[in-house]
């Protein structure tokens, strides 16, 4: 799985879910172990590689994907898991043999034995940026950028939080029941859970296992959605029975959230992602209120769509606020990606603002921590569109806001990083 993620643009969570579905382990606890190994080795990849480079007799880019994945798994177990050293080395070598790469067993065994002789993880070296890069396994450009935007202490908190395993959070399907009713039914069914702190719709599941097997999934009583993503829908404060366009709808969490009390047209440029949205809407009992269509929101929108009371632009972005859930992104993203993404976001905003009714709302959101994709983007939009103005929601003072916009950051609160702006079209 790790070598497949490294060699392609696949997301770790998708590969992991697919493999575990196709080849479920006999003991469910093994699925948890596999998940910890894959996510842990990916989150700590830069740290693991720095250790390996001290002992390898060749550059890591010269090592075959599966062999390098085995080395990372071995080093991760040695320093970040309670696995006896001999087991971490021996099981990793045996697994490599089982994977059909026996020729590299001696090479891997030799390196892991040298690493296992260390009493602890080597101390970080260099300046503050280099130390944080090693300690938190984030690329130097991102470390520098977060220090510049948030200050050294908050940046350090964010970097360390990205290496914590995220909780499984669900959103109550309020078209069927309230959160209090869902919590009561979970209690009757023996499901360990607690309400989220900020979202009035969220529930944190404790050790849920396969969510598809949990109470209420088949009945469509809830949908998996991170608390910060839920807050975007709460912050939007869409009035009931509004006509809503979700302009970049995949994977569909926000579209389904809005469809719980509104009529939603969910569009996306990727036609292959629309069936998943339809499937979730069907499970949740929202098909009558949620329709999908393949449309590129960065181009002129079809006239037959008409105008909308609310347009949600959950724009494509660098995803820098979701590095806990998608740790592979921190190694794929580069600073030079931000400019083209910001340009795409501007194109989408420009097309979508045209279909907002006078007096209607334009809600812009990104799962990113970066100002270029968030506050700076909105400032530029407002300069060129005097018919729009920022309008924070009413009665939601408990939400984490900044300059009237929703902003959540990775940290001890356990939230992903999101930005959202609520803009009123005045005429």
Kindly report, residue by residue over 166-186, the tens digit of the pLDDT. 999 999 999 999 999 999 999
- At 139 the pLDDT is 98
Looking at every residue in the chain, the average pLDDT score rounds to 96
- At 258 the pLDDT is 98
Is residue 208 predicted with pLDDT exceeding 90? no
- At 362 the pLDDT is 98
The domain limits of the chain are 2-116, 128-161, 229-425
- At 314 the pLDDT is 97
229-425, what's its fold?
Rossmann fold (3.40.50)
What is the tens place of the pLDDT at every residue in 4-51? 999 888 999 999 999 999 999 988 889 999 999 999 999 999 999 999
- At 29 the pLDDT is 87
Is residue 384 predicted with pLDDT exceeding 90? yes
Cα angle for residues 310, 313, 319 (degrees, 5° grid): 150
- At 288 the pLDDT is 96
Is residue 91 predicted with pLDDT exceeding 90? yes
- At 216 the pLDDT is 98
What is the tens place of the pLDDT at every residue in 52-75? 999 998 899 999 999 999 999 999
What is the tens place of the pLDDT at every residue in 278-301? 999 999 999 999 999 999 999 999
Mean pLDDT for the stretch of residues 352-374: 98
Of 149 and 208, more confident: 149
CATH label, 2-116, candidates 3.50.50.60, 2.40.30.170, 1.10.940.10, 3.40.50.11780 = 1.10.940.10
- At 210 the pLDDT is 85
Q: Tell me what percent of the residues of the chain surpass a pLDDT of 70.
A: 100
What is the tens place of the pLDDT at every residue in 120-149? 999 999 999 999 999 999 999 999 999 999
Is residue 207 predicted with pLDDT exceeding 90? no
Is 38 marked active-site?
no
What is the tens place of the pLDDT at every residue in 223-264? 999 999 999 999 999 999 999 999 999 999 999 999 999 999
The pTM is what?
Answer: 0.94
Query: One of 38, 193, 256, 367 is an active-site residue; which one?
Result: 367
How far CA 283 is from CA of 128, 173, 186, 222, 350, in Å, comes to: 49, 11, 19, 9, 34
């Amino acid at each position: 799985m790790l070598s497949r993620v490294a060699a392609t643009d696949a997301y770790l969570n998708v590969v992991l879910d697919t493999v575990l579905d196709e080849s479920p382990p006999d003991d469910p606890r093994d699925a948890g172990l596999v998940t910890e190994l894959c996510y842990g080795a990916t989150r700590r990849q830069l740290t693991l590689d720095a250790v390996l480079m001290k002992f390898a007799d060749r550059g890591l880019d010269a090592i075959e994907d599966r062999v390098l994945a085995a080395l990372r798994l071995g080093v991760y177990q040695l320093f970040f898991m309670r696995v006896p050293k001999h087991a971490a080395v021996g099981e990793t070598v045996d697994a490599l043999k089982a994977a059909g790469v026996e020729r590299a067993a001696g090479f891997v065994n030799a390196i892991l034995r040298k690493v296992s002789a260390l009493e602890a993880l080597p101390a970080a070296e260099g300046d503050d940026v280099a130390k944080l890069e090693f300690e938190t396994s984030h690329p130097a450009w991102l470390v520098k950028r977060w220090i510049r935007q948030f200050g050294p202490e908050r940046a350090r908190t964010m970097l360390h939080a990205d290496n914590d395993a995220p909780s499984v959070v669900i959103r109550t399907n309020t078209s069927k029941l309230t959160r209090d009713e869902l919590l009561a039914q979970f209690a009757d069914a023996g499901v360990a859970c607690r309400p989220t702190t900020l979202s009035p719709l969220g529930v944190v599941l404790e050790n849920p296992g396969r969510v598809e097997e949990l109470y209420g999934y088949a009945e469509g009583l809830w949908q998996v959605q991170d608390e910060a993503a839920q807050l975007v829908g709460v912050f939007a404060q869409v009035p009931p029975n509004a006509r809503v366009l979700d302009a970049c709808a995949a994977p569909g969490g926000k579209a389904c959230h809005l469809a719980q009390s509104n009529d939603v047209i969910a569009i996306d440029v990727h036609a292959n992602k629309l069936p998943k949205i339809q499937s979730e809407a069907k499970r949740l009992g929202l098909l009558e209120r949620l329709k999908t269509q393949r449309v590129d929101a960065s181009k002129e929108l079809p006239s037959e769509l008409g105008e909308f009371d609310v347009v949600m632009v959950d724009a494509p972005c660098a995803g820098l606020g979701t590095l806990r859930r998608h740790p592979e992104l921190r190694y794929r993203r580069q600073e030079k990606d931000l400019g083209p993404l910001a340009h795409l976001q501007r194109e989408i905003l420009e097309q979508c603002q045209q279909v907002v009714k006078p007096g209607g709302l334009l809600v812009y959101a990104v799962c990113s921590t970066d100002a270029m994709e968030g506050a700076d983007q909105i400032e530029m939009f407002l300069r060129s569109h005097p018919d729009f103005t920022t309008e924070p929601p009413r009665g939601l003072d408990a939400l984490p806001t900044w300059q009237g916009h929703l902003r959540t950051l990775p940290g001890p609160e356990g939230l992903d990083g999101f930005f959202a702006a609520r803009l009123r079209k005045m005429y």
